[in-house]
Amino acid sequence: MLSPLMYGKLYDHLLNVKNLKLVNDPDQYRNCHYLPASYDLIKDYTPFTISVPGSKFSMVDLSTILAPFGDRPIILKDFVKSEKHFWHTACFYPQASDLVKVRDTIENFNKLRDPEGGYVFREYVERSEERRVGKECRSRWSP
C-alpha cells in the first residue's frame, strides 16, 4: 500500500506529467487509507475506536487512553492495518485493563513494524465463523 505522502506524489506526477487524473485525490485517499480520518463518518457502524497519533506514550497515558474500554477485549492496529497473523502476541488483548499485556503487545507490534500514523485501539467484536475463515468481502470507496 502507498502511504498518503507517496500517493500524493504519484497523483501530482500523473496529473502534471501525463495529464492523468486518478479517481481519488490525495485527501480522499488519506480519508480511506487511515482509519482515524474516516472514523467520524463510520463510527455508528463500526466498533468503538480510540486513535493515538505518533508512537510514544507513557503507561499513565495508556491507562487514561484505554479507560473507556473498561475490561472489554480490544485489538491493536496502526492507522492502516493490524498484525492479525500474530493475534495473541501483537494484536489482541482479552482485557483492556491489563496494562502489562497491552504494553507487551505494543512492544511486539513495534518489533514487527513501525506504526503508520499512530496506534488504533478498537473494541473487539466476535465475528461469525464464516467471516473468520476468509469468506469476507471488502469494499473501498470515497465520497
Contact 39, 99 (CB under 8 A): no
In the chain, the percentage of residues whose pLDDT exceeds 90 is: 71
The C-alpha cell of 80 is what?
492502516
- pTM for the full model? 0.81
pLDDT tens string 80-126? 999 999 999 999 999 999 999 999 999 999 999 888 899 999 999 98
Helix axes 99-112, 59-66, angle to 10 degrees: 110
* Residue 114 pLDDT: 87
